[in-house]
Structure 1
Amino acid sequence: MKPLLLPSSSIIILFFSFTLLMISIINIPTCLCEDNTQYANCSYAFKCESKIRNLKYPFWGGNRNQYCGSVAADPNTELTCERSVPKITINFAKYRILDWDNTTQKLTVARDDYSRGDVCTVNNNYQNSSFDNTLFQRYNGDVSTITLLYSCDAAPNSQNLFGRVDCGDGKYVVYTVVYAASGICSPSVIVVIPILGTLAAQLVSGNGLEDALKDGFDLKWTGNYGQCQGCIGSGGVCGNDGGSEFRCFCKDGPHTTSCTSKKAYSSGAKRNWRPIVIGALVAGLGVTMFFIIMLRRHFKRGIASKQMSIFTKRRKVVDHNVEVFIQRYNSSMPRRYTYREVKRITNSFRDKLGQGGYGVVYKASLPDGRQVAVKVLNESKGNGDEFINEVGSISRTSHINIVSLLGFCYETNKRALIYEFMPEGSLDKFIYKNGSPDAICNFDWNILFQIAIGIARGLEYLHQGCNSRILHLDIKPQNILLDEDFCPKISDFGLAKICQKKDSIVSILGIRGTVGYMAPEVFSRTFGGVSYKSDVYSYGMLIIEMIGGRKNYDTGGSCTSEKYFPDWIYKDLEQGNTFLNCPTITEEENDMVRKITLVSLWCIQTNPSDRPPMNKVIEMLLGPVSSLSIAPKPVLSPPEMPPLQVADMSSSDLYEINSITVSK
């Protein structure tokens, strides 16, 4: 009897799986970073359960270590939390923090001892509001001062420059906005406090003392915040070296000015990955040949059944390849958890955060108390290649606008990914909940603008920040997560494509992405090759959807050009109307929205070469609106809705489709 040879279909499957493994290994990004304790600590804002949730650099205190401030142990930048109110002490006077603007470094504060507006019940620790020898100075413009004169029995003068508060028992506090008390009385204590200039006029007429003290005044931090902005733009967080020197903390340790500058202290020599890649190729080839020989022996002995499904064989090959991948890169990958550990940290999968075609996301807590999100992948979806793809790409990125992968689990039919927890969830819940408290109309437009810039910086990092270029290919609201400060982070790299920077066009099988966000060239190669410009298109559609607060693609109606949302924008721009759904918006906010809208229209151009790269997008967003022109209207009408199985292709599903109908 002739020996049974390995069927040609099995050889094809083995070759395909081995090729995918080698491509994944060869194209691993070389920007390898490890979480740094300083980076992790300073990434979090000061926690105080108040509405002010963006208190980061130059502040420290509470959950933020001393090295997170501008100067270590500087008492003028230390924060405390008292009864859910953040407070700061500057030159021995304590203030309530009412607001903090990261963009202008404007700090609005009110004296804590006068926060009730009562000048009579202040304790004996009278302090003037002095800002000498500090980096906080009175904000230029709308700031005046009020002088309180204690134990002064003089009545207001005829020019109404003074007012008087009766404290009882024959005691009075006289106040003035123009101190000229000489010859009128001899006060025992004089307290000088800044106030908003808009309230000073009311005080001259003897009214508004309580409001002036409660509403506080504005200070400006005069430190070198531009240096900190450069650090944040490179994916780092700001801090100090334990003294007065600036440090940029990144996932691989502290740097002098940014994550691209030299390290602040010597670290080990850069690891040479070329021998590992070559070794992986040789070992992978040897493992594959060994596997083929073993299969042939099984066939010869008649052990292998002819009825064994292709899926089962492929599953074994993929499992084996995944294990090889994990073993080869174990030192540079996040921690591997057992399924039992995953079940324990999720409390037996009790707290579900969301569900999709990829599987289910649960809230969990690590043994050290950190909250995380665990994505348990659907057993029937994917074949392990997407798992390698996501772990191999995202675990080696380091940027403030890219979600961090903290661990993974891979066992037989059990796959899970453990990410940092994003308290505000995904961006889509703020877009689609019209009329609810979470609706995007209720966003401060500056927050919306910062979200748009953050997503752009994350994509620019993927395209240019690593030695290898990463194409996400599934940018949509569901894949943008928001932390407690509404800082956006790009997630879900299941469909990502890793390539060399010199490669302008990449090759992909079938269609990747979600209808409504896919670039024309992704669903039909007649529009050009797939490249990083495909992510630019998805970004443009995402930003348009953020502004409009409605879906780009109405699956419940016809897909004519009248239903295509960018058409509405062009009509409103031509007529000079505002296209926002929100009832109230200022002229300044409208200009801001107009700017990001014009930028997004350039991103959705049909021809990929007409779309700007992400670094140019950031430049346009930060530039003046007057420098932007209206992009030509795309000539492509929306595609006909494909059959049901491709109506929403999630990052865990890769469908092979030969053609798709396009309306022209």
Structure 2
Amino acid sequence: MAFHLLSRPYFMILIITLWSQNSDGSLYPKFEACEPNTCSNNQTISYPFYIEGIQEPFCGYPGFGLSCGNDGFPFLNMSNAKYMIHQIFYNNSLRVSNAVFSRSNTRSCFPRTPNLTLSDTRLALAPNQRELFLLFGCDLHEGLQEHIIGCSEENKTGSVVAMNRENQNLGFALMNCKGGVVNVTVEDEEGGIQEALRRGFLLNWTVSDCNKCKNSGGKCGFDTDIFSFRCYCPHDTHARHCSQEKSGNSVVILATDLSIKLEDESLVAVKVLKELKGNGEEFINEVASISRTSHVNIVTLIGFCFEKSKKALVYEFMANGSLEKFIFETNNLTGDYQLNCEMLYQIAVGVGRGLEYLHRGCSTRIFHFDIKPHNILLDENFFPKISDFGLAKICPRNESVYCRNIGVVSHKSDVYSYGMMVLEMVGGRKNINVEVDCTNEIYFPYWIYKRLELNQELALRNVINESDRDIIKKMVLVSLWCIQTDPSDRPTMHRVVEMLEGNVETIQVPPKPFLSSPSISPRTSPSH
């Protein structure tokens, strides 16, 4: 669906009143709740971390809950062991050490601690950390004594030896230490191994960027109901950063194009509806459906206005426009503006999460009915958001429902459109014109399925390494499941996101999703 613009020069004054959730002037409760806090060592704890039992979980990221130790230091539970946090650097890193080493000396007895595993977390070892081996139950052989750091807690007699991988005596120690081996990490070995163990090592974390929210006066958090980053502002919640508009103030803007500036210099996008269809049903649909949503992958409706037959919707401005202009080969974009495989994958996952939210995250189920590249908008970082709810239907939370002028429909119609869109993304075309040596148009899903069936190279653009091949194959397999002819064979959007985020080897090749090879791609589902 395109924006409707007037055919002659036209100026319209839009007066929009933006109401906040707290018109009495009080602060938003989550904004107040997410004040930074501290254990008794004066170390500030804020997003993505939170102190369990003191700060609310929505003030931090899932899995980043900390506890306060008796010595005043915060600690993090990882791999069934306590890790003391010496310092948090809010540039996405922190220094930690295993608590058993925090007060160690040459007379300390150490328990066998579990090896640290980070594979299922958003934490990772910082670059250039060093690996050490702690060997338990060692006898006092010559060549091992200088490496002893304490005794084994199990029997109080066997020694614990620490060595790095480069030590020439490591092999000898492995044969003579009978109590097992534990891998530990240190940042460096300055001051000796005992001091290095006390000082610990650096971890990096990967979560949503908090800077835009903080710089706009907000406090960062996370909504586990929609599994998305949230910016808690003085009067409400936003997806990325706080609005500069005051509660209840009118904003006067002069609209001559689709993107304009408010008085505070922030950009917005205006969609003007000139000729309304069905007694304004499109306008009503858009306002009624999108105003019920709050998700990082759904475009934000800032406000709306109307005068007689003229109506306008005001949205957040998305700097890169629609996905459509970035994926089709006919657009002739330069290299700087082409999307690589990882970016295409992240966009597909983002749109999938947005659709999953519409289907099961809202108080009522919303069917979009118009998922296509043109209706996926990209911000300055190519973060995707679903837009254009003119055809959307708000339906009760059952599997399918009868909607006027459509008949019996279900969320599987959106699943089908999503699958077709992802195929267009990986193919860089509108599902036609694949084989250059053939003058007839070839239906792209048919062509790509035949390649998979024959175990042939997919031979798609922008694939430069094995990781790209896996990403594209995963997107193709998932999209072919989505466009199955029988709606009952199509996965839910929740399952779609699971498959996209999982291992490509676990995704089975779906049945052939069509009965024949049509010459053009249908945009809508062949069955509801």
TM-score when normalising by structure 2: 0.55
CA distance in 2, matches of 1:370, 1:462: 28
The counterpart of 1:437, out of the listed 326, 331, 334, is 334
CA distance in 1, matches of 2:233, 2:248: 22
The counterpart of 2:204, out of the listed 212, 221, 245, is 221
Alignment of 1:289-300 (within 5 A): none
CA distance in 2, matches of 1:368, 1:407: 16
Corresponding residue of 2:71: none
Corresponding residue of 2:468: 589
The counterpart of 1:421, out of the listed 317, 320, 331, is 317
The counterpart of 2:293, out of the listed 390, 397, 404, is 397
Alignment of 1:466-545 (within 5 A): 466-502=362-398, 504-509=400-405, 529-545=408-424
Corresponding residue of 2:80: none
1:234 alignment partner AA: I
1:457 is aligned to 2:353: yes
1:626 is aligned to 2:505: yes
CA distance in 1, matches of 2:265, 2:30: 18
Alignment of 1:177-576 (within 5 A): 220-221=203-204, 231=223, 234=226, 236-237=228-229, 341-342=252-253, 344=254, 346=255, 349=256, 352=257, 362-379=258-275, 383-433=279-329, 435-437=332-334, 442-502=338-398, 504-509=400-405, 529-552=408-431, 563-576=442-455
2:284 alignment partner AA: I
Structure 2 counterpart SS, 1:481: strand
Distance 1:363 1:223, change over 3 A: closer
Corresponding residue of 2:39: none
Alignment coverage as a number of residue pairs: 356
2:204 alignment partner AA: W
1:237, 1:250 within 8 Å by CA — same for their partners in 2? no
Q: Percent identity?
A: 45
CA distance in 2, matches of 1:38, 1:237: 17
1:375, 1:417 within 8 Å by CA — same for their partners in 2? yes
Q: How far apart are 1:508 and its partner, in Å?
A: 3.9
Q: Which runs of 5+ in 1 are unaligned?
A: 1-32, 41-55, 60-66, 80-87, 92-102, 108-136, 146-177, 179-192, 196-217, 240-247, 255-333, 353-361, 511-524, 650-659
Q: How far apart are 1:449 and its partner, in Å?
A: 1.8
> Residues 527-580 of structure 1, C-alpha deviation per residue, up to 9 Å, x if partnerless?
xx42110000000001111111111257xx9xx996211011112112323324
2:297, 2:385 within 8 Å by CA — same for their partners in 1? yes
Distance 1:409 1:592, change over 3 A: same
Structure 1 counterpart SS, 2:495: helix
Q: How far apart are 1:229 and its partner, in Å?
A: 11
Greater percentage in strand: 2
Distance 1:430 1:252, change over 3 A: same
1:430, 1:438 within 8 Å by CA — same for their partners in 2? no
> Residues 64-83 of structure 1, C-alpha deviation per residue, up to 9 Å, x if partnerless?
xxx899899x994446xxxx
Corresponding residue of 1:286: none
CA distance in 2, matches of 1:194, 1:472: 51
Q: How far apart are 1:106 and its partner, in Å?
A: 7.1
Distance 1:618 1:414, change over 3 A: same
Distance 1:389 1:78, change over 3 A: same
Greater percentage in helix: 1
2:482, 2:491 within 8 Å by CA — same for their partners in 1? yes
Structure 2 counterpart SS, 1:473: coil
Q: How far apart are 1:621 and its partner, in Å?
A: 1.6
Distance 1:553 1:589, change over 3 A: closer
CA distance in 1, matches of 2:453, 2:30: 47
CA distance in 2, matches of 1:477, 1:39: 35
Q: How far apart are 1:396 and its partner, in Å?
A: 1.6
1:461 alignment partner AA: Y
Q: How far apart are 1:436 and its partner, in Å?
A: 2.0
Distance 1:224 1:495, change over 3 A: closer
RMSD: 5.1
> Residues 27-78 of structure 1, C-alpha deviation per residue, up to 9 Å, x if partnerless?
xxxxxx95998999xxxxxxxxxxxxxxx9649xxxxxxx899899x99444
1:363 alignment partner AA: S
Q: Which runs of 5+ in 2 are unaligned?
A: 1-19, 32-45, 50-58, 67-85, 96-119, 132-165, 167-185, 189-200, 209-219, 239-246
Distance 1:408 1:414, change over 3 A: same
2:483, 2:490 within 8 Å by CA — same for their partners in 1? yes
CA distance in 2, matches of 1:533, 1:479: 18
Q: How far apart are 1:476 and its partner, in Å?
A: 0.3
CA distance in 2, matches of 1:431, 1:39: 39
Structure 2 counterpart SS, 1:551: coil
Q: How far apart are 1:249 and its partner, in Å?
A: 8.5
1:507, 1:530 within 8 Å by CA — same for their partners in 2? yes
CA distance in 2, matches of 1:394, 1:364: 21
CA distance in 1, matches of 2:352, 2:385: 10
1:437 alignment partner AA: T
Q: How far apart are 1:616 and its partner, in Å?
A: 1.2
Q: How far apart are 1:444 and its partner, in Å?
A: 3.8
Q: How far apart are 1:472 and its partner, in Å?
A: 0.3
Alignment of 1:119-158 (within 5 A): 138-139=126-127, 143=129
1:548, 1:580 within 8 Å by CA — same for their partners in 2? no
1:436 alignment partner AA: L
1:470, 1:498 within 8 Å by CA — same for their partners in 2? yes
Q: How far apart are 1:443 and its partner, in Å?
A: 2.7
Corresponding residue of 1:151: none
Q: How far apart are 1:467 and its partner, in Å?
A: 2.4
> Residues 121-171 of structure 1, C-alpha deviation per residue, up to 9 Å, x if partnerless?
xxxxxxxxxxxxxxxx634xx5469xxxxxxxxxxxxxxxxxxxxxxxxxx
2:392 alignment partner AA: A
Q: How far apart are 1:336 and its partner, in Å?
A: 11
Corresponding residue of 1:313: none
